[in-house]
Amino acid sequence: MTIDTVEAKGGKPVAAEETLRRFATAAQAAYAADPGPGGVEKIRALLEPVLRDKAVVARYLGPDNDETRTPIYEDPQFGFVVLAHVYKGVAKAPPHDHGPTWAIYGQATGVTEMTEWKLEKAPAGNEPGRASPVKTYRLEPGMAVAYQAGQLHSPKRNGDTRLIRIEGADLMKVKRKAFKPA
Ligand SMILES: [Fe+2]
């Protein structure tokens, strides 16, 4: 499955809204075919050309938008949410998962330094879980990485970044547990 991008068609530029609509349709079909890790991985692959689409970046992550979190699509069938993120300055998040659901981080501009963690001790009551780092890598523009449910990760940035992220469910409605380095 592919999305008809500007490059693929070699013709008239496709409007950002149309590119997003085609991405959403393809993502929905991929998830309908496989609502497990395989479907999430397909959506990740579909997102990468969208991150490199200048019209999409200008429309959803352009200078007019400086919101840290803007939902730009919510899937009516499966509930996954596509978010535009404009992050300013240096920041570092603690290790976390996304509760019962998955997330895809897609880098549009800047660099995210991502660390993946191994769970050492599950959170219990008010006591945060403990985790140890496994690997760290750079998410460069045009790259997307999927974190399946329960996969601990921590993003860090050394300057401004812009991302398109997808959450398997709206995490604003999900209670999440805390983790600390072991
Ligand atoms: Fe995350």
DSSP 13: P
DSSP 61: S
| Separation of CA 153 and ligand 1 centre (Å) | 6
| Separation of CA 64 and ligand 1 centre (Å) | 25
pLDDT tier, 56 (very low <50, low <70, confident <90, very high otherwise): very high
pLDDT score of 4: 53
Residue pair 112/180 in contact (Cβ under 8 Å)? The answer is: no
Q: State how far the Cα of 171 lies from the Cα of 182, in Å rounded to an integer.
A: 25
Residue with tokens 């200048």: 54
pLDDT above 90: residue 172 = no
Q: State how far the Cα of 164 lies from the Cα of 108, in Å rounded to an integer.
A: 7
pLDDT score of 11: 60
| Separation of CA 94 and ligand 1 centre (Å) | 9
| Separation of CA 48 and ligand 1 centre (Å) | 18
Q: Does the CA dihedral 123-127-132-133 come out positive or negative?
A: positive
Residue 108 is encoded by which pair of tokens?
């549009």
| Separation of CA 10 and ligand 1 centre (Å) | 35
pLDDT tier, 128 (very low <50, low <70, confident <90, very high otherwise): very high
Domain positions in the chain are 6-181
Residue with tokens 């149309």: 18
| Separation of CA 118 and ligand 1 centre (Å) | 14
| Separation of CA 166 and ligand 1 centre (Å) | 10
Q: Where are the beta strands (DSSP E) in the chain?
A: 70-74, 81-87, 91-92, 103-109, 112-121, 129-139, 144-147, 152-157, 161-167, 179-181
| Separation of CA 67 and ligand 1 centre (Å) | 18
Residue pair 102/168 in contact (Cβ under 8 Å)? The answer is: yes
pTM: 0.90
pLDDT above 90: residue 101 = yes
pLDDT above 90: residue 64 = no
| Separation of CA 106 and ligand 1 centre (Å) | 11
Taking alpha carbons only, the member of 67, 80, 70, 53 closest to residue 141 is: 53
pLDDT tier, 150 (very low <50, low <70, confident <90, very high otherwise): very high
| Separation of CA 156 and ligand 1 centre (Å) | 11
- Fold topology of 6-181: Jelly Rolls (2.60.120)
